[in-house]
Amino acid sequence: MKSDLEIAQSAHMEKIEDVAKKISITQDALINFGPYMAKINPKKLEKKEKEEAKLILVTAMSPTPAGEGKTTTTIGLTDALASQGKSVVACLREPSLGPVFGMKGGATGGGYAQAIPMENINLHFTGDFHAITSANNLLAALIDNHIYHGNELGIDLEAITFKRGLDMNDRSLRKVNIDNARYQYQGGFNISVASEVMAIFCLATSLDDLTYRLGEIQVAQNLDKNKSPIFAKDLKAQGAMAALLKDAFMPNLVQTLEHNPVLIHGGPFANIAHGCNSYVATQLGADMADYVVTEAGFGADLGAEKFIDIKCRQTGLKPNLIVVVATIRALKYHGGVKVEELNNEDLEALEKGFSNLERHIENCSQHFGLNLVVAINHFKTDTDEEVKLVQGKVEKLGFKAILCSHWGEGSKGAELLAKEAIDLSEKPNQFKFLYDTKDSLKSKLKTIAQTIYRAKDVMFEGDALSQLKLIEDEYAHFPVCIAKTPYSFSGDAKEIGAVSNHTLTIREIRLVRGAGFIVAICGSVMTMPGLPLKPASEGISVNSNGEIEGLS
């Protein structure tokens, strides 16, 4: 069986200008990065006169080591919609080098449902993440430079909250000592995708909005008795930061294996930030195509909730349909089966593990009010009895579960899913947010924990409650972003299935002022991850012909 990389490398690719024509984008709007990748200059586009595009959100059950396949399904569904004669574009997140070289691997789909050129997208791509990292670290350098030259703003060295960034998993950088002849303080690094600059990049609606939001980043507090906040704009940083991001802010265009357009742009972590691709790419897709298929990171309790309560709330986007991806293997894992035994039929474990998928279905349909279909991402080890069991249980909940084989068959394998998506996206829904902006921050946190995670309560430890109280008066209207393990509804990754009646423990509250939300960090979640015992980088190499091998 060919690997994902082998399939991608052997694929025929169309010139990117021919892919662009499928959504009425002409050559003069493209800035080519070789023959198969390009940035799109929105100022050179003529918006089409057409009906409002249908927005389809792809999410999933809680992730497992067995894999679920949101990106693969997003691409498979896009290809299948195109095969039905629909004008369609996929909108994906850019891969971070941290996961690429760590545990997760790349983020371009798999099998015959991939975005290509796969190796370029997963490694450097068009340099967007490097630009974001540079803009982030320019601000960090300006903070230090201001202090070095006399600290006119009176920055409290113990109250500097802005961190440096690096697009790599490196646990040794979580805390660093800034030791200068004139001052010392403790700082640290975030992985670039968890930075506030990345969150702003993905939520900004225009270059002007991007520049404004960058200036609103709170970097520290003043030494005065009121501990007045100090912002990036006080350091006159936003203009130069925006200059570094100007070209990166233009969405990137690539193609699927079946030569359909894919916009890959931006990508904050969904267990730390809001986990969605950029608004400008999603909106560009909606302007130029009739269907936009996008994804949100990790399970629906994280990615989908944040897509709706943060991205949609800030931008006005509204999904017409939500696709929840599941696999038989992942359901059995949530039923207690070990990874090495997942290929064996186990109806009892499947029945038990179904509770996880059921919880996500209930959340998406009842609490977000969206039309919904389940996509069973097929593996060859799935038995007929296992598939029948899952489909029957989903139907009892009032929805359809469609078996999809796009990994092995491309668009043909997602044809039934596409037909159901077309039908459901035409039907009205009762789209709604989970909470009101008028609710207190504490109330919002409890609403998410108790409604989506089924927690009995929220507990604040350390300085979390005092941190919350400090920002409550001025920022109570902000949405909240819970950073927790993606592997469980609780804050403990080992509590699989559909755990309930637990206590969600919040250890830290962070204000992400420029991006317009607050982050509640739970459990052991780190904003600078580490590499696993056997990182994926060990299997990646370049052969004598200059071809990359081992990328997944």
For the annotated catalytic residues, the residue numbers are: 70, 72, 93, 104, 270, 298, 379, 407
Residue 155 in tokens:
């920055």
What φ, ψ does residue 539 adopt, rounded to 5°? -100, 5
Please give the DSSP secondary-structure letter assigned to residue 256.
E
> 477 near 436, Cβ under 8 Å?
no
> 300 near 451, Cβ under 8 Å?
no
Residue 70 in tokens:
């949101």
Q: Which has the closest alpha carbon to 377: 327, 411, 334?
A: 327
Residue count (the chain): 552
Longest dimension (CA), the chain: 72
Residue 178 in tokens:
């800034």
Residue 512 in tokens:
């992400």
> 232 near 214, Cβ under 8 Å?
yes
> What letters, b where the CB count within 10 A reaches 16 and e where it falls short, cover 357-367?
bbbbbebbbeb
Q: Which has the closest alpha carbon to 514: 206, 127, 190, 238?
A: 238
* CA–CA gap between residue 184 and residue 177 (Å, rounded): 7
433 to 169, 278, 365, 446, 490: CA distances (angstroms): 33, 20, 12, 15, 21
Cis peptide before 117 (omega within 30 of 0): yes
